[in-house]
Chain A
Amino acid sequence: MLKDGRPTRPLPANDSGEPFATFTGSRALEQDEPLIFEMDSPGAVGVDLPTKVAAKTRLGDLARQEKVGLPSLAEPTVVRHYTRISRLNYGIDTGLFPLGSCTMKHNPRLNERMARLPGFADLHPMQPVSTIQGALALMQHLKNWLSVLTGMPGVALPPGAGAHGELCGMMAIKAALNSRGDGEKRRRVLAPASAHGTNPATAAMLGYQVDEIPENDRGRVDLEAFKAMLGEDVAGIMLTNPNTCGVFENDIRAIADAIHDIGGFFYCDGANFNAIVGRVRPGDLGVDAMHINLHKTFSTPHGGGGPGAGPVVFSEALAPFAPIPWIVGDDETGFDLIESSDQGATTSFGRMKGFHGQMGMFTRALTYILSHGSDGLMQASGDAVLAANYVKARLQDVMSAPFGDGPCMHEALFDESFLKDTGITTLDFAKAMIDEGYHPMTMYFPLVVKGAMLIEPTESESKESLDKFIDCLRFLAEEAKNRNVERFQQAPRFAPRRRLDETQAARKPILRWRPNVQELQAAE
């Protein structure tokens, strides 16, 4: 036997066990990739356009003479560039993505295929109505599903995302109050401290004073405190249900009654509708308006931050104030678009976006809905809630669940008390999950819980996947208890980047590439 043996892998570069720095800066499949602006190859081109057409130039004296400054790259270079940087991303397709409040569930590819049917993707929004009957039918079908699932008669499709939906709902409320001559005196909107940041931001945008409703010790609205805040100057309440602590507001009917008694409206933030879809209709609970994030409940892809869609469902009282355009008609009579208040939409609060809404998201959402059907949607919300409760049940002894008594909904909330005196923060704990191959949970939200960790496993995980995830968190909790701080404070070590310096980014913002900056640095 050869005494020393042949090494089967390179030896560490130094005693600390750190690997060699590579010549290229790449680490095997993880490639170090410059910006496209640093890859400029003048003369290269990534598209071949049809032959030039000879025609008179009619640009007045406004022809652009100066260079735009775009780099030139051939197609293979571009494909490789974006493929390489894509590999630095974590997506749902990569692994379990327990980002509470964000609903990172499976994105079926059938939805993508359907959205790309030329009969949808290549429709122009201003085609004559006679040529877009299928598109309008699709929108009516989606509206019908949303209406039946929520038990609410009105549906507005235009909003571009959840926050835009909130704005839509609150503008309808404001318009309704104005129409009964009540708008001036109702200057306050109530929202729990645990609300999404978009709630107070939306209400403030519309000029409302936002008053925070306190929570009780069960993570829900303190009903008595809420009632004490009510008065003739209250326009409405904005409440997420299931709420951001991951529990169902069990006093919701009393809350709805109380707000209605003083003449206010109930806006429900429907970001968490995925927990109850197909099982509970918000219309049965006294809700007047609610947005639905199609990119959460109905799984249109998040795409690294959009596009989303945030249709709003309305009660009978608010439906007339819905934004234009309105779609009218049915399969028998044919469909029509009302695009202007001049055409009969006199009660509408107006327009809030170009054209007719996020059609590409409607096709995906409807595909998802039809695939599940009413029975599948019921099963999906059930599985989502089951998975979250399972995670909670199996972690509650090693991590701390502040409102752990009753069942949770689709997400399990933990706080930082299990890390007390370890020197490890919620942030450190989350970053250690990255090294283990998981996307972290939502951190430090909701604000009402110290060092919050909000875990939303979704219905897309198998039991094996959940068990492995739970075992991993149990291991990390144990490591934290043992004060193995290195594992946490240095994390992530195995990600494409270590922790990034956000202070430097914010103090001296560099928001674009500039050639002179690079040259200056080179000169130094």
Chain B
Amino acid sequence: MRYLPLTDANRQEMLSAIGVSKIDDLFSDVPAGALLDKPVDLPHGKSEMEVEREMASLAKRNISTGTVPSFLGTGAYRHHVPATVDYVIQRGEFLTAYTPYQPEIAQGTLQALFEFQTQVALLTGMDVANASLYDGATATAEAALMANRVTRREKILASGNLHPHYAGTVDTLARQTGFTFKGSSPSPAGSDIAALKDQIDSETSAVIVQYPDIFGHIVDFTSLAEAAHAAGALLIVVTTEIVSLGAIKAPGSMGADIAVAEGQSIGNALNFGGPHVGLFACREKLIRQMPGRLCGETVDAEGRRGFVLTLSTREQHIRRAKATSNICTNAGLCALAFTVHMTLLGETGFKELAALNHARASQLVDRLIEIPGVELLTPAFFNEFAVRLPKKAAEVVQVMADSGVLGGVPASRLWPSSDLNDILIIAATETNTDADIDALVNALEGALA
């Protein structure tokens, strides 16, 4: 087996040094009958070529977004990732490193994390950010738990226009850990911020809103932040398309206390939904209640600047049952990919990328609203918007897929038992060309005809 350097002769020598005759002797603590005497009944090892063939045959049974006009969003977005990003993250020094517990020989990972934390804080307009969480949904759940710790209250309110996977993740934790989670029904035609304000009371620990929301609406939530703060509650702002923050106001500038986001759009492939990278930022005064790893600046014994994981007493390996979160492994390499891509973009590139995304989506809207029966529900949006169709959206999407166009996500996929059957959520990014837009318009016209 190509990954195993020991030869049979080596094994024999080692067994005699240990003083046993065969490897099975080392498993003498395994209860009788539980030690298998032959491999389980599945295929034996394969050559590199054979494995490639087998995996490629599975890959071929999928339609890749890179091969057809594709307009899917709702929390995962296809963007162009520069070749440099993949080069950097495939360097063995990054790829095969562990969590930087030995800072003297992990400054590469640590410095990149420090840059990552700074970038995330800048994008969200918050004071500090952590070194990443699994994804946007779990980051939202961690934010809810953190708000409960900070306010010592146990009631979380959420907008109905929060991604249902995110709401579901918080709801699961609420039911299992015993706090109250009050979600709302989705409102595709507009934001439900006014209704949320009315629900805030003295028990509320936080209000969660998505920005841009699941249908694409962008609204100013400054007044919601004020209402939450007046009641002693926090405002958690969730962003599933981080590129949007190059075009629209930062959550921090509208009064968010915790800003969480899905960072996949920058540096990371769609990967069928994972691994992605959860971004988590907050106000400075809350840092000791933050979940996850934090990288901090310090000096070494010679006075040279260096970086370490810090405030680790919040974490499970020190605090055990009293930790702020049970998280251990996070999304280090995805965070590195994010950082490298964001560094390549820089101030100008990031804003231009955001502008291009918005322009493509706006251009697409101009075309779609010309189609009879298609109604735009989101007057203000970034790169994703919702339309009402004169037919069931899931059926329309299937017809378009059969003709080779991935034309959006039907709301019924996200809320199967809702009455949102006629709503389609469409995203456009810099990867979409004029020809893609023509193809979508044609496919939609065809499907509606």
Query: 0/1 per residue, B100-128, Cβ < 8 Å to A?
Result: 10111111110111110111011100011
The stretch of A224-232, A373-381, A475-483 in contact with B is A373-381
Indicate if the CB atoms of B63 and A127 lie closer than 8 Å.
yes
Q: Cα distance A316–B76 when bound, in Å?
A: 34
| Residues 81-116 of B at the A interface (beta carbon under 8 Å) | 82, 84, 86-100, 102-109, 111-115
The stretch of A8-16, A360-368, A413-421 in contact with B is A360-368
In the assembled complex, B326 has its CB within 8 A of some CB on chain A: yes
In the assembled complex, A487 has its CB within 8 A of some CB on chain B: no
Of the residues B103, B327, B363, B379, contact of A60 by C-beta under 8 Å: B379
Of the residues B7, B19, B55, B129, contact of A393 by C-beta under 8 Å: B19
**Are A390 and B14 CB-contacts (below 8 A) given A70-B342, A302-B97, A370-B54?**
yes
Indicate if the CB atoms of B93 and A86 lie closer than 8 Å.
yes
Indicate if the CB atoms of B333 and A460 lie closer than 8 Å.
no
The stretch of B195-203, B229-237, B296-304, B438-446 in contact with A is B296-304
Indicate if the CB atoms of A118 and B107 lie closer than 8 Å.
no
Indicate if the CB atoms of B176 and A206 lie closer than 8 Å.
yes
Residues in A neighbouring B88, C-beta threshold 8 A: 79, 82-83, 86
Q: Cα distance A126–B86 when bound, in Å?
A: 24
Residues in B neighbouring A110, C-beta threshold 8 A: 48, 51-52
Of the residues A145, A200, A276, A358, contact of B275 by C-beta under 8 Å: A358
Q: Cα distance A434–B123 when bound, in Å?
A: 37
Chain A nearest CB: distance from B248 CB in Å? 5
| Residues 196-251 of B at the A interface (beta carbon under 8 Å) | 218-220, 245-250
Report the nearest A residue to B57, measured CB to CB.
A134
Indicate if the CB atoms of A86 and B178 lie closer than 8 Å.
no
Indicate if the CB atoms of A340 and B96 lie closer than 8 Å.
no
Q: Cα distance A79–B340 when bound, in Å?
A: 9
Query: 0/1 per residue, B132-153, Cβ < 8 Å to A?
Result: 1011111000000100000000
Residues in B neighbouring A197, C-beta threshold 8 A: 315-320, 323, 328
Chain A nearest CB: distance from B214 CB in Å? 12
Residues in B neighbouring A70, C-beta threshold 8 A: 119, 122, 342-343, 345-347, 350
In the assembled complex, A500 has its CB within 8 A of some CB on chain B: yes
Indicate if the CB atoms of B333 and A304 lie closer than 8 Å.
yes
Q: Cα distance A120–B66 when bound, in Å?
A: 11
| Residues 305-342 of B at the A interface (beta carbon under 8 Å) | 306-308, 310-311, 313, 315-323, 325-334, 336, 340, 342
In the assembled complex, B258 has its CB within 8 A of some CB on chain A: no
Chain A nearest CB: distance from B82 CB in Å? 6
Indicate if the CB atoms of A305 and B65 lie closer than 8 Å.
no
In the assembled complex, A454 has its CB within 8 A of some CB on chain B: no
Indicate if the CB atoms of B273 and A125 lie closer than 8 Å.
yes
Residues in B neighbouring A175, C-beta threshold 8 A: 176
Residues in A neighbouring B132, C-beta threshold 8 A: 306
Indicate if the CB atoms of A512 and B107 lie closer than 8 Å.
no
In the assembled complex, B274 has its CB within 8 A of some CB on chain A: yes
Q: Cα distance A248–B303 when bound, in Å?
A: 45
Report the nearest A residue to B105, measured CB to CB.
A90
Indicate if the CB atoms of B329 and A50 lie closer than 8 Å.
no
Q: Cα distance A63–B249 when bound, in Å?
A: 6
**Are A33 and B111 CB-contacts (below 8 A) given A120-B62, A123-B271, A506-B296?**
yes
In the assembled complex, A329 has its CB within 8 A of some CB on chain B: no
**Are A59 and B62 CB-contacts (below 8 A) given A71-B347, A355-B274, A374-B44?**
no
| Residues 139-180 of B at the A interface (beta carbon under 8 Å) | 145, 163, 165-166, 168-169, 171-173, 175-178
Indicate if the CB atoms of A134 and B60 lie closer than 8 Å.
yes
Of the residues A305, A340, A379, contact of B4 by C-beta under 8 Å: A379
Max chain A Cβ within 10 angstroms of own Cβ: one of B23, B249, B321: B321
Indicate if the CB atoms of A375 and B45 lie closer than 8 Å.
yes
Q: Cα distance A512–B352 when bound, in Å?
A: 25
Of the residues A57, A250, A498, contact of B29 by C-beta under 8 Å: A250
Indicate if the CB atoms of A62 and B397 lie closer than 8 Å.
no
Indicate if the CB atoms of B121 and A512 lie closer than 8 Å.
yes
Q: Cα distance A120–B6 when bound, in Å?
A: 33
Q: Cα distance A116–B57 when bound, in Å?
A: 14
**Are A380 and B29 CB-contacts (below 8 A) given A72-B348, A353-B137?**
no
Indicate if the CB atoms of B39 and A64 lie closer than 8 Å.
no
Indicate if the CB atoms of A303 and B333 lie closer than 8 Å.
yes
Indicate if the CB atoms of B359 and A354 lie closer than 8 Å.
no
Of the residues A106, A123, A280, A431, contact of B62 by C-beta under 8 Å: A123
Query: 0/1 per residue, A287-329, Cβ < 8 Å to B?
Result: 0000001010000011111111100000000000001100000
Q: Cα distance A379–B186 when bound, in Å?
A: 53
In the assembled complex, B449 has its CB within 8 A of some CB on chain A: no
Indicate if the CB atoms of B105 and A495 lie closer than 8 Å.
yes
Indicate if the CB atoms of B44 and A123 lie closer than 8 Å.
no
Q: Cα distance A137–B55 when bound, in Å?
A: 11
Q: How many residues of A contact B (CB 8 A)?
A: 207
In the assembled complex, A28 has its CB within 8 A of some CB on chain B: no
Chain B nearest CB: distance from A322 CB in Å? 12
| Residues 119-147 of A at the B interface (beta carbon under 8 Å) | 119-128, 130-135, 137-138, 141, 144-145
| Residues 347-399 of B at the A interface (beta carbon under 8 Å) | 347-353, 355-356, 358-360, 362-363, 365-366, 379-382, 397-398
In the assembled complex, A258 has its CB within 8 A of some CB on chain B: no
**Are A304 and B114 CB-contacts (below 8 A) given A124-B72, A163-B329, A206-B177?**
no
Of the residues A166, A253, A281, A462, contact of B326 by C-beta under 8 Å: A166
**Are A349 and B172 CB-contacts (below 8 A) given A49-B356, A167-B326, A386-B14?**
yes
Indicate if the CB atoms of A431 and B104 lie closer than 8 Å.
yes
Query: 0/1 per residue, A494-516, Cβ < 8 Å to B?
Result: 01111111101110011111000
Max chain A Cβ within 10 angstroms of own Cβ: one of B138, B273, B313, B344: B273
Of the residues B99, B173, B356, contact of A50 by C-beta under 8 Å: B356
Max chain B Cβ within 10 angstroms of own Cβ: one of A64, A141, A249, A252: A64
Of the residues A36, A81, A307, contact of B332 by C-beta under 8 Å: A307
| Residues 424-466 of A at the B interface (beta carbon under 8 Å) | 430-431, 434, 439-440, 445, 459-463, 465
Of the residues B46, B176, B248, contact of A174 by C-beta under 8 Å: B176
In the assembled complex, B435 has its CB within 8 A of some CB on chain A: no
Indicate if the CB atoms of A117 and B271 lie closer than 8 Å.
no
Chain B nearest CB: distance from A122 CB in Å? 4
Chain B nearest CB: distance from A215 CB in Å? 15
Chain A nearest CB: distance from B108 CB in Å? 4
Indicate if the CB atoms of B90 and A112 lie closer than 8 Å.
yes
Of the residues A37, A61, A174, contact of B115 by C-beta under 8 Å: A37
Max chain A Cβ within 10 angstroms of own Cβ: one of B176, B323, B342, B409: B176
14 A–B contact pairs at CB < 8 A? A75-B82, A78-B344, A120-B59, A134-B58, A171-B172, A201-B319, A302-B99, A302-B332, A304-B100, A353-B138, A370-B46, A373-B39, A498-B302, A513-B115
Task: Please list the 10 inter-chain residue pairs (A to B) with the smallest Cβ-Cβ separation, ordered nearest first.
Answer: A119-B59, A355-B273, A303-B333, A93-B92, A134-B61, A125-B273, A60-B380, A46-B344, A305-B332, A307-B275
Known: A45-B348, A59-B380, A350-B171. 7 other contacts (CB 8 A): A46-B345, A60-B380, A89-B107, A123-B271, A279-B30, A393-B17, A407-B20
